[in-house]
Chains A and B, each alone.
Chain A
Amino acid sequence: MAIRLTPSQLFRSQIRNMQRSGIDAFEAQQVAASGRKFNKPSDDAVGSQRSVILRELHGDVQVGRKKMDIARSELTMAESALAEMTNVVSRLKELSVQMASEVMSVGARANAAVEVTALKDVLIAQGNTRFGEKRLFAGQLTGADPFDAVGNYVGDAVGVTVQLPQGTSTQVTTRGDDVLRGASGGPDIIQEVDNLIIALGASNTAGIQAAADLMGQSVDHVVAQRTQLGARMTQLDNLDEFFSGLELNVGAEIAAVEEADPVAAFTEVTRTQQAFEVAMQVSSAARTPNIFELLF
């Protein structure tokens, strides 16, 4: 401390103290009012960087969960269609077993052929199941029905896969030709139904019996397809559980990085305001009494 004290020194000191206290009070008010620990990068450079990265991750997880929701809806719809196909193929097996019996008349078989034809139409309709405008058994050609009126497959051979966060993915569409046309080695159900219709029309017992045998395999094939689809849904459920937890954790981490503790923030506001008021009071009192007032 210098021995000689001048008004300029005193003035500078008072101004500096008041400004520092004022800035502290202002910053404390900003934190309390915004609820954020930092409002610009320089308040907390590392926190700002972490905030950017965490928010990006949070966004990724949220979008991933939305994609999973959509995928789950599509798979649920496809699963319903496969369940209906299972019922149809089971009925076809039942009919073919009944009609293969020697006791069945030609008329009964002709009537059965009508029912089988109707059931084939149901199979085709299920193969053309939509989610919105998206055909779920069309591979990538989701804009048009994958099966024509007689059951020819006009979709493509590529299933649609959706990328999920953390490097995971899931297939959301099923190839209709795999399910109904045996494209990957299973039975060609549409062809078998056509054969059954012909055999019923001709009252061909041997043909009907052969169809009955194959229908059993068809039921197993459709059930296997449902099982695969169910496995995908289970995978989605597991992923969603994981990402739900991740979303919560990342959200909590963002809050920890960005959000101010309200109690601490308001305590700081009170403390800095008091300091500011003290600085102002000290400044107003510092030069009284004035020596000129005392001496002259």
Chain B
Amino acid sequence: MSLFSILNQGSRSMRTATAGVATASNNVANANTQGYSRQTLGVEASGTQRRGGMLMGQGVSASQVTSAYDSFSQRAVLSQLGSNSYSSSRASSFEVIEANLAEGVDGGLASAMSQFFDDWAALESDPSSTASRQQLLARGQNLVQRFNSSAEQLGNEQSNAEARVGQRVARANILAGQIATLNAQIVRLEASGGRANDLRSNRTQMLEELSEIGPVNTEDRADGSVRVFFANHILVENDDARTLSVAADPVTGFSQVHIAQGSTTFEITSAMSAGSLGADINVRDAVTVGLLSSLDDLAFTLSTQVNTIHSAGFGLDGLTGRNFFGPLAATAGAAQALALDAAVVGTPDAIAAATTAAAVPGDNTNAAAISGLADLSLMAGATQTFGRFYGGFVAGLGQDAARAYQNEARSELELSGAKDLRDSISGVNLEEEALDMIRFKDAYSASARVLSVTTELFDELLRIV
């Protein structure tokens, strides 16, 4: 073996050590980068050569940088991201809804409804009192405003969820396009050997964001690309990203999500079981619809029952046939459309407290009948009073909201567990990297020392000459 060979070995060894430090440095730099997998420098012996009848090693060289990416734990993270994003978005919506419908000490709809019927009872005590009639009109207006405002706030949350559906679909399309581009780059780079670790990390980051939008599954392919399924339909294949789109439902007018597959499009709205997009669709189509339906039912039944009795009664002016609330055409939208009838607005004498014209003003039987509606089971298939029905509405909302918050907390823990598992395999551990840096630094120092010794040998040789 010649001294030059030793110099070459030392030089190669120093380059390998430098690459090792660089790899560790890269890991340290990306220790907190989302989607990054720890990289490791592959080191191998540089082969053997026959020198003077002996087989001599040729030192060391760096083979390739590999990533500690684990597809199984990563898939678990993607799945939990979708689940967590769904729970979290849904919980946020419930927070808004609860804040808007809170009863509180100052009173909400329940209080307004109770006061309304109490004022009919007060009018029963003194049916000729203008003050009682004016108070009843004011409380009726308050009840109307509570219904209107509750329905409007639920409608706003529904509209906001609808607006977010379009925004999230647009973002998913951008991410799908970026994943397809990264697929193409990775396939091209890896075709000639090696592993495009940083591009893969970038792609993982995109996949994680896409998973937060909707239900995503992935399939790793041999060429380095990844096939992405969105709601069980292929969204990205090689360098091709399919397009998600929204189209208004002819009945509800709300955006339905479609995915293009060749010349055909498939509606995938009902398959949105995960991600923030799924949560928005659930809030829009189920949560707010259910709550609005109950409010509408309550407003419609209450106003219809009051009107039926009121229109048969007589006001202080001896006239009959007037509604207290503006008549509602249908249950749907009743809470939002509820209003006092124009015949009674500003006209306290028009309030029909009497059953017969001849018995005005002392006849209080109509007021008593309307006041008594509060105690009749007129809701939920004639099994609940207005108060109990609304109490059930509040309890149902509370239970759904509490469940949503619990799901959010549970899914956060599950996501954290999945990330911990992934990071324990492919995350960057700073102690490991520090020790790796020392290892390569020592190797570098030792190799440098070899060069120094070899140079001394050269010097000795030259002195002989």
List A residues at the B interface (Cβ < 8 Å).
Answer: 2-9, 11-13, 16, 34, 36, 39-46, 48-53, 55-56, 59-60, 62-64, 66-67, 70-71, 132-135, 138-143, 156, 158, 160-163, 172-173, 290-292, 295-296
Find out whether the CB atom of B423 lies under 8 angstroms from the CB atom of A2.
yes
Q: Given that A12-B416, A66-B122, A141-B359 are contacting pairs, would A2 and B438 also be in contact in the complex, using a CB cutoff of 8 Å?
A: no
**Which residues on B sit within 8 Å (CB–CB) of A44?**
398
Nearest-Cβ distance from residue A293 to partner chain B, whole angstroms: 10
Give CA–CA (A62, B101) in the complex, Å. Answer: 25
Question: Which residue of A5, A143, A296 is within 8 Å of B360 (Cβ)?
Answer: A143
Find out whether the CB atom of B401 lies under 8 angstroms from the CB atom of A40.
yes
Nearest-Cβ distance from residue A251 to partner chain B, whole angstroms: 14
The B113-151 residues at the A interface (CB cut-off 8 A) are: 113-115, 118, 121-122, 124-126, 128-129
Would you give 6 A-B contacts (Cβ < 8 Å), ordered by A? A13-B416, A48-B103, A48-B398, A49-B392, A66-B125, A161-B368
Interface centre among A8, A51, A138 (most CB of B within 10 A): A8
Given contacts A42-B399, A143-B361, 20 further A-B contacts (CB under 8 A): A4-B423, A6-B428, A7-B32, A48-B391, A48-B395, A51-B103, A52-B394, A53-B391, A59-B115, A64-B121, A67-B122, A67-B125, A70-B126, A134-B362, A139-B362, A141-B359, A158-B359, A161-B364, A172-B125, A292-B430
Give CA–CA (A260, B412) in the complex, Å. Answer: 30
Query: Which 7 pairs, one residue from A and one from B, show the smallest C-beta to C-beta distance?
Result: A41-B398, A45-B398, A2-B424, A142-B362, A6-B427, A49-B395, A42-B401
Give CA–CA (A12, B419) in the complex, Å. Answer: 9
Interface centre among A3, A11, A133 (most CB of B within 10 A): A133
Nearest-Cβ distance from residue A21 to partner chain B, whole angstroms: 14
B429 at the interface (CB under 8 A from A): yes
Q: Given that A9-B423, A56-B110, A163-B372 are contacting pairs, would A42 and B128 also be in contact in the complex, using a CB cutoff of 8 Å?
A: no
Nearest-Cβ distance from residue A189 to partner chain B, whole angstroms: 23
Find out whether the CB atom of A55 lies under 8 angstroms from the CB atom of B125.
no
Question: Which residue of A4, A59, A70, A172 is within 8 Å of B114 (Cβ)?
Answer: A59
B220 at the interface (CB under 8 A from A): no
Give CA–CA (A51, B110) in the complex, Å. Answer: 10
**Which residues on B sit within 8 Å (CB–CB) of A143?**
128, 360-362
**Smallest Cβ-Cβ distance to A36: which chain B residue:** B105
Find out whether the CB atom of A16 lies under 8 angstroms from the CB atom of B428.
no
**Smallest Cβ-Cβ distance to B68: which chain A residue:** A4
Give CA–CA (A42, B374) in the complex, Å. Answer: 26
B85 at the interface (CB under 8 A from A): no
Find out whether the CB atom of B387 lies under 8 angstroms from the CB atom of A56.
yes
**Which residues on A sit within 8 Å (CB–CB) of B416?**
12-13, 16
Find out whether the CB atom of A160 lies under 8 angstroms from the CB atom of B364.
yes
B260 at the interface (CB under 8 A from A): no
Find out whether the CB atom of B32 lies under 8 angstroms from the CB atom of A4.
no
Q: Given that A40-B401, A45-B398 are contacting pairs, would A67 and B121 also be in contact in the complex, using a CB cutoff of 8 Å?
A: yes
B434 at the interface (CB under 8 A from A): yes
B9 at the interface (CB under 8 A from A): no
Find out whether the CB atom of A156 lies under 8 angstroms from the CB atom of B359.
yes
Give CA–CA (A138, B128) in the complex, Å. Answer: 14
Find out whether the CB atom of A8 lies under 8 angstroms from the CB atom of B401.
no
Binary CB contact string for chain B from 403 to 429 against chain A (1 if under 8 A, 0 otherwise): 001000000100010011101110111
Give CA–CA (A167, B122) in the complex, Å. Answer: 16
Find out whether the CB atom of B126 lies under 8 angstroms from the CB atom of A40.
no
Question: Which residue of B358, B361, B395 is within 8 Å of A46 (Cβ)?
Answer: B395
Give CA–CA (A34, B104) in the complex, Å. Answer: 10
Find out whether the CB atom of A8 lies under 8 angstroms from the CB atom of B124.
no
Nearest-Cβ distance from residue A29 to partner chain B, whole angstroms: 17
Find out whether the CB atom of B405 lies under 8 angstroms from the CB atom of A42.
yes
Nearest-Cβ distance from residue B354 to partner chain A, whole angstroms: 8
Find out whether the CB atom of B434 lies under 8 angstroms from the CB atom of A6.
no
Nearest-Cβ distance from residue B166 to partner chain A, whole angstroms: 29
**Smallest Cβ-Cβ distance to B412: which chain A residue:** A16
Give CA–CA (A5, B387) in the complex, Å. Answer: 55
Q: Given that A16-B416, A163-B121, A163-B372 are contacting pairs, would A4 and B429 also be in contact in the complex, using a CB cutoff of 8 Å?
A: yes
Q: Given that A49-B394, A52-B103 are contacting pairs, would A4 and B362 also be in contact in the complex, using a CB cutoff of 8 Å?
A: no
The B362-388 residues at the A interface (CB cut-off 8 A) are: 362-364, 368, 371-372, 374, 387-388
Give CA–CA (A66, B432) in the complex, Å. Answer: 79
Nearest-Cβ distance from residue B295 to partner chain A, whole angstroms: 14
**Which residues on B sit within 8 Å (CB–CB) of A139?**
359, 362
Question: Which residue of B94, B129, B354, B430 is within 8 Å of A42 (Cβ)?
Answer: B94
**Which residues on B sit within 8 Å (CB–CB) of A45?**
394-399, 402
Find out whether the CB atom of A7 lies under 8 angstroms from the CB atom of B110.
no
Find out whether the CB atom of A133 lies under 8 angstroms from the CB atom of B128.
yes
**Which residues on B sit within 8 Å (CB–CB) of A8?**
31-32, 419, 423, 427-428
Give CA–CA (A143, B402) in the complex, Å. Answer: 56
**Which residues on B sit within 8 Å (CB–CB) of A173?**
362
**Which residues on B sit within 8 Å (CB–CB) of A135?**
362
**Which residues on A sit within 8 Å (CB–CB) of B387?**
52-53, 56
B229 at the interface (CB under 8 A from A): no
**Which residues on A sit within 8 Å (CB–CB) of B371?**
163
B111 at the interface (CB under 8 A from A): yes
Find out whether the CB atom of B124 lies under 8 angstroms from the CB atom of A5.
no
Give CA–CA (A13, B429) in the complex, Å. Answer: 15
B247 at the interface (CB under 8 A from A): no
Find out whether the CB atom of A42 lies under 8 angstroms from the CB atom of B402.
yes
Find out whether the CB atom of B405 lies under 8 angstroms from the CB atom of A163.
no
Interface centre among B364, B412, B428 (most CB of A within 10 A): B364
**Which residues on B sit within 8 Å (CB–CB) of A64?**
121
**Smallest Cβ-Cβ distance to A292: which chain B residue:** B434
Give CA–CA (A161, B425) in the complex, Å. Answer: 82
Question: Which residue of A3, A50, A59 is within 8 Å of B118 (Cβ)?
Answer: A59
Find out whether the CB atom of B388 lies under 8 angstroms from the CB atom of A7.
no
**Which residues on A sit within 8 Å (CB–CB) of B118?**
59-60, 62-63
Binary CB contact string for chain B from 332 to 376 against chain A (1 if under 8 A, 0 otherwise): 000000000000000000000010001111111000100110100
**Smallest Cβ-Cβ distance to A167: which chain B residue:** B375
Find out whether the CB atom of B430 lies under 8 angstroms from the CB atom of A291.
yes
B99 at the interface (CB under 8 A from A): yes
**Which residues on B sit within 8 Å (CB–CB) of A290?**
430
B390 at the interface (CB under 8 A from A): yes
Find out whether the CB atom of A4 lies under 8 angstroms from the CB atom of B398.
no
Give CA–CA (A38, B103) in the complex, Å. Answer: 11
Interface centre among A48, A66, A133 (most CB of B within 10 A): A48
B460 at the interface (CB under 8 A from A): no
Find out whether the CB atom of B394 lies under 8 angstroms from the CB atom of A48.
yes
Find out whether the CB atom of A163 lies under 8 angstroms from the CB atom of B391.
no
**Which residues on A sit within 8 Å (CB–CB) of B249?**
none
